[in-house]
Chains A and B, each alone.
Chain A
Amino acid sequence: MQQMRKLSVVTRACVGISLLVAAATSMAAEWGVNDLMQSLSQKKAGTATFVEKKFISTLNQPLESTGQLAFTAPDRLEKRTLSPAAESMILQGDKLMVERADGKKLNVSLSDRPEVSAFVESIRATLAGDKAGLEKYYAIVLNGKPEQWQISLTPTQSKMQKVISQIRIQGTKTQIKMITFLQADGDRSEMTITETSSK
Chain B
Amino acid sequence: MVKRSTRYILLAWLLFIAAAVAVVFRTHFVADLSAFLPKSPNVKQQILVEQLKEGAIARLVLIGIEGGDATQRADASRQLQAELSKRPLFSVVQNGDPAAMQADQAYYFKNRYLLSPAVEKDHFSEAGIKASIQQLLIAMSGDSGLLIKKLLPSDPTGETLQILEQFMSSGGPRTEDDVWVSKDGQRAVLMAQLASSGLNTDEQALALDDIRAAFTKASQHTPQLKLVMTGTAVFSVYSRDTIKSEVERLATLGTVLVIVLLLLVYRSFRLLLLGVLPVASGALAGIAAVSIGFGYVHGLTLGFGTTLIGEAVDYSIYLFIQSGQEKKAYFWRTIRLGVLASIAGFAVLMVSSFPGLSQLGVYSIAGLLVAVLVTRFVLPVLMPTQLKMPALTGTATILDHVFEGLRHIRWVPIVLLVVSFTYLLMNHQRLWSRQLSSLSTISAAQSQLDAKLRGDFGNTDMRYIVSFHAPTQEAALQKAETVSGVLNQLVAANQIQGFQSPSNILPSVATQQKRLAAIPDQATLVKNLNAALVGMPVSADKLTGFVTAVTAAKQQGVITKAGLAKTASGVLLDSMLIRRANDYLVMMPLVPLANGLVTNTFQQSLDRAGLAGVSVLDVVEETSGVFGRYTEEAMTLSLVGSAAIVALFVFSKGWRTAWRISFPLLCAVVVVMAIFAWLHIQMTILHLVGLLLLVAIGSNYVLFFAEDETDRDLASRQKMEVSLVVANLATVCSFGLLGTSSVPVLSFMGSTVGIGTFLALIFAAMLVRQRYVKASE
Contact = CB atoms under 8 A, between A and B. Distances in A.
Interface of A: 52, 54, 56, 58-61, 63-65, 79, 81, 84-85, 87, 89, 98, 100, 104, 106, 111-114, 159, 163, 181, 183, 187, 189
A164 to B, nearest CB: 8
B415 interface: no
Q: Which 6 A-B pairs have the closest CB atoms?
A: A63-B141, A112-B174, A65-B141, A61-B537, A60-B537, A59-B537
Nearest to A119: B146
Contacts of A112: 174, 183
Contact of A104 (B146, B149, B168): B168
Most A Cβ at <10 Å: residue of B142, B183, B542: B142
A124 B146 CA distance: 19
A98 B537 CA distance: 27
A14 B142 CA distance: 59
Contacts, number: 58
A62 B178 CA distance: 33
Contact of B152 (A58, A89, A159): A58
A151 B149 CA distance: 27
Given A58-B538, A59-B537, A60-B538, A87 B142 contact: yes
B153 interface: yes
B146 A63 contact: no
* Size category of the binding interface on chain B: 20 to 34
A106 B142 CA distance: 15
Interface in B362-381: none
B538 A64 contact: no
B141 A64 contact: yes
A113 B146 CA distance: 16
A135 to B, nearest CB: 19
Nearest to A105: B497
Contacts of B137: 59, 63, 84
B216 to A, nearest CB: 30
A61 B183 CA distance: 42
Nearest to A106: B168
B140 A81 contact: no
Nearest to B142: A87
Contact of A114 (B139, B176, B539, B542): B176
Most B Cβ at <10 Å: residue of A60, A85, A112, A114: A112
A55 B137 CA distance: 12
B142 A81 contact: yes
B538 A54 contact: no
Contacts of A89: 143
Given A60-B538, A112-B174, A54 B152 contact: no
Contacts of B139: 85
Contact of B542 (A58, A100, A113, A163): A58
A98 B153 contact: no
A11 B143 CA distance: 62
Given A60-B538, A159-B178, 5 more contacts: A54-B149, A63-B140, A84-B141, A85-B138, A187-B149
B654 interface: no
8 contacts: A59-B537, A63-B137, A79-B143, A84-B137, A85-B142, A87-B143, A100-B142, A159-B178
B405 interface: no
A95 B638 CA distance: 56
Interface in B123-175: 137-143, 145-146, 149, 152-153, 168, 174
Contacts of B145: 54, 63, 189
Nearest to A85: B138
Contact of B153 (A58, A60, A106, A113): A58
Contacts of A106: 168
B150 to A, nearest CB: 9
A76 B174 CA distance: 23
A1 B294 CA distance: 129
Most A Cβ at <10 Å: residue of B143, B176, B537: B143
B676 to A, nearest CB: 44
A56 B149 contact: yes
A56 B140 contact: yes
Contact of B146 (A65, A111, A159, A163): A163
A113 B183 CA distance: 11
Nearest to B497: A105
Contacts of B538: 58-60
Contacts of B146: 163, 181, 183, 189
Nearest to A114: B176
Nearest to B542: A58
A56 B140 CA distance: 10
Contacts of B149: 54, 56, 58, 187
Contacts of A87: 142-143
A87 B144 CA distance: 11
A87 B152 CA distance: 21
A63 B134 CA distance: 11
Contacts of A187: 149
Contacts of B138: 84-85
Nearest to B491: A104
A94 B576 CA distance: 34
Contacts of A63: 137, 140-141, 145, 537
Nearest to B176: A114
A84 B139 CA distance: 9
A67 B20 CA distance: 86
A106 B137 CA distance: 21
A65 B153 contact: no
Nearest to B492: A103
